[in-house]
Amino acid sequence: MKIRTGYTLTYDCPEQVTMLMMISVHHSRLADLLTPAEITISGGTLVRSYEDRFGNICTMITAPPGQLVVASDFVIGDAGLYDEHNPHAIQHEIADLPIETLTFLLGSRYCETDKLSDTAWALFGHIAPGWGRVAAILSFVQQHISFDYLQASNTRTAWEAYQGRVGVCRDYAHLALTFCRCMNIPARYCTGYMGDIGVPIVPPMDFSGWFEVYMSGRWYTCDARHNVPRLARILMAVGRDATDVAISNSFGRAVLSGFEVISDLIEEEAPAITA
């Protein structure tokens, strides 16, 4: 399938500001681009782009006082497959894990394994290691948290989401991946596009947060908010938690005043039938 994807982000900058942004698709999806994913900048200047240690493409922009508009509009190809779940996936012994996965067992800014470890073992310790334990975590978190976009908070941690029982997609992901880490399953945070493809349309469109677990020698997609396989995720960034994948970090004042995201299936016309 072909998906038209992009965004328009508008910032009001009362003073000169430098911004570090993660607004490109992840390097693992670059080969799927069908049109260039160029970033257009109005009211600012591109300083440089680079790839961080997680394979995320980072873009640095400077802007003088005034309005800054950052946008992109491109087409990407997707296999059109639902998230793969594997009930036979095994949980690795820690000593057998690849070195690069070990950081995803540790606590991080939004994922307090120290505060949630006892709770995790009390809730899931009786379940045999493996996919069943992950499935139990997903079901618990989906039922434990109530989705409320109006109560979104960029400082809420996994512990606070567990206590308050409210949040948005990033809170579901933070809590579920923290429980996984507590149970010795590497888990990393993901952000990207997940349009309303194959499900009822629920506007407005936004970027989405989910996570992945490392089992049976590979990463598997998990989504505690929906807890059903979904189509057409377009990965932008991965990291320990939302700290590593923030859409923007401002070094100076910048107020987000406009936000539009698109991720729409391109309906291809059937070939004409000729006699």
pLDDT in tens, 63-77: 999 999 999 999 999
Q: What is the pLDDT of residue 195?
A: 86
Same domain, 45 and 120: no
From 229, 248, 226, select the one nearest 87 (Cα to Cα): 229
φ, ψ dihedrals at 208, nearest 5°: -125, 155
pLDDT, averaged across the chain: 94
Query: Three-state SS across 43-107?
Result: CCEEEEEEECCCCCEEEEEEECCEEEEEEEEEEEECCCCCCCCCCCCCCCCHHHCCHHHHHHHCC
Span 141-146, average pLDDT = 97
pLDDT of 270 > 50? The answer is: no
Asked whether residue 227 is domain-assigned, the answer is yes
**Quick one: what percent of the chain has pLDDT higher than 90?**
90
Same domain, 111 and 73: no
Asked whether residue 159 is domain-assigned, the answer is yes
Strands (DSSP E) contained in the chain are 2-13, 17-21, 40-42, 45-51, 57-63, 66-77, 146-147, 166-167, 187-194, 207-215, 218-222, 233-239, 248-251, 255-265
Q: How many domains does the chain have?
A: 2
Same domain, 236 and 255: no
pLDDT in tens, 9-51: 999 999 999 999 999 999 999 999 999 999 999 999 999 999 9
Same domain, 99 and 180: yes
Same domain, 171 and 72: no
Which tokens is 127 given? Answer: 């379940």
Which tokens is 216 given? Answer: 């049976």
CATH code of residue 49: 2.60.40.2250
Cα separation, 229 vs 80, in Å, equals 12
pLDDT in tens, 201-249: 777 788 999 999 999 999 999 999 999 999 999 999 999 999 999 999 9
CATH code of residue 137: 3.10.620.30
Q: What is the pLDDT of residue 10?
A: 98
**Which residue in the block uniquely carries the two structure tokens 């949630």?**
116
Question: Taking a C-beta distance cutoff of 8 angstroms, is the pair 137, 180 a contact?
Answer: yes
Same domain, 165 and 130: yes
DSSP 246: -
**Range of the structural domain that residue 46 is part of:** 2-80+247-265
Same domain, 64 and 126: no
Same domain, 223 and 260: no
Residue 219 has, within 13 A of its CA and on its CB side, a CA count of 16
